[in-house]
Chains A and B, each alone.
Chain A
Amino acid sequence: MVSERVSPGNLLPLSASADMTTPLDDPDLADVRRAADGDQAAYGRIVHRNIDAITRVAERMLGSRAEAEDVAQDVLLRGWRQTVNWQAGNAKFSTWLHRVALSRCTDRLRARRETSLDDSPEFVDRSPLPDAHLQQQSVALRVRAALGTLAERQRAAVVLCHFEEMTNIEAAAALEISIEALESLLARGRRALRAALLPERAALIGDLS
């Protein structure tokens, strides 16, 4: 039988050189092994450690909380199936989860482009804002809008490195690129964000103060 190494879309197994980890480096590894033997509580701990980060990444990529939660659910269920085939040492399990999440987000963004003449993602949250966080949220919404104008790969690099504070090694592994390529995406992404946001800085800082 060919092992069902989960490959969402064209997602290939992580390169051994991309994110070399030892068992001690991966906080999920012991629970991945337990989950592979059917330990549901162990997978529950993996879910607990990763669900919020995956949801945040997907929300920033898609500009939609509801879609992000669909992606998180899909990714974590694929993760459950993947535990049986997981090979320690190639990458952290959480890096693989992020890689699947980014792949899912790319699929959804592509589907949007194919079904809509309007290429710009919907990055406006119309839900009512609680008063206590209104000003900070208004800046956050402006940041989300600017983030939504970036090219997908630039957006993913900024989301992983700035917002999720992944190491450059982990982010490069999640994006399947070299460190040099990651830094190029980050620099171009930050340059575009600076051009979009800094002219409004005085007004935005006013919102924060």
Chain B
Amino acid sequence: MKPAMHLERFTELIDAYGAEPRRWPAAERSAALAFASADAAAAALLRNAAALDALLDADVAAAATAEASRAVRLAVAATVDRPASRWQELLALLGGWRIALPAMAMALVAGINIGATAGTVMFSTDEMASAATDDMTGDDLRYRQGFAERLLLDLQQVPQ
């Protein structure tokens, strides 16, 4: 019977996940660490993998300074402000899906055709980007812009 960790499996782990133990499968990490500290061949494998990891991690550090742009966050916030579909709008009016769905099921059984109202509102990228302004005026526009800005502010204030 093979031990919990052996050279063949350790080699597979390092080939796949690299030299950094935090990237190893949690279920095998302890056994792999113990094996690495006791086997000379394991040390050589780790050195080779660490050389590649060091280069890849330069890109990890570079990406860490970049975050999704404010424009994307604002576009998502602005579009989320409107119901995603007429179904969601209807469900919201009826008190949420937990209440509304059983009622709708009963209505369907009774033969009431509500399919005509079921079209999903789809937005193209351009429509999403301009959703906060294109089809709204007056108080509606101010409300939606206000919500999007508030949500963006909320996003920025959540601790990292």
Contact = CB atoms under 8 A, between A and B. Distances in A.
Interface in A163-188: 163, 165, 167-168, 179, 182-184, 186-187
B26 A167 contact: yes
Contacts, number: 164
Interface residues of A, number: 61
Contacts of B80: 40, 43-44, 47, 77, 80
7 tightest A-B CB contacts, nearest first: A140-B62, A186-B16, A139-B58, A187-B15, A183-B16, A140-B59, A81-B84
A47 B77 contact: yes
A155 B79 CA distance: 31
Contacts of B73: 47, 51
Contacts of A201: 51, 55
B58 to A, nearest CB: 4
A44 B56 contact: no
Contacts of A119: none
B61 interface: yes
A15 to B, nearest CB: 19
Interface of A: 1, 4, 36-38, 40-41, 43-45, 47-48, 51-52, 54-56, 59-60, 65, 69-70, 72-74, 76-77, 80-81, 84, 133, 136-137, 139-140, 142-144, 147, 161-163, 165, 167-168, 179, 182-184, 186-187, 190-191, 193-194, 197-198, 201, 204-205, 208
Given A37-B97, A56-B63, A84-B97, A186 B17 contact: yes
A162 B84 contact: no
Interface residues of B, number: 60
B158 A163 contact: no
Given A41-B151, A56-B63, A143-B56, A4 B120 contact: yes
A29 to B, nearest CB: 16
B107 to A, nearest CB: 11
B45 interface: no
Interface of B: 12, 15-18, 22-23, 25-26, 49, 51-56, 58-63, 65-69, 71-73, 75-77, 79-81, 83-85, 87-88, 91-92, 96-98, 104, 108, 114-115, 118, 120, 123, 125, 128, 147, 151, 154-155, 158
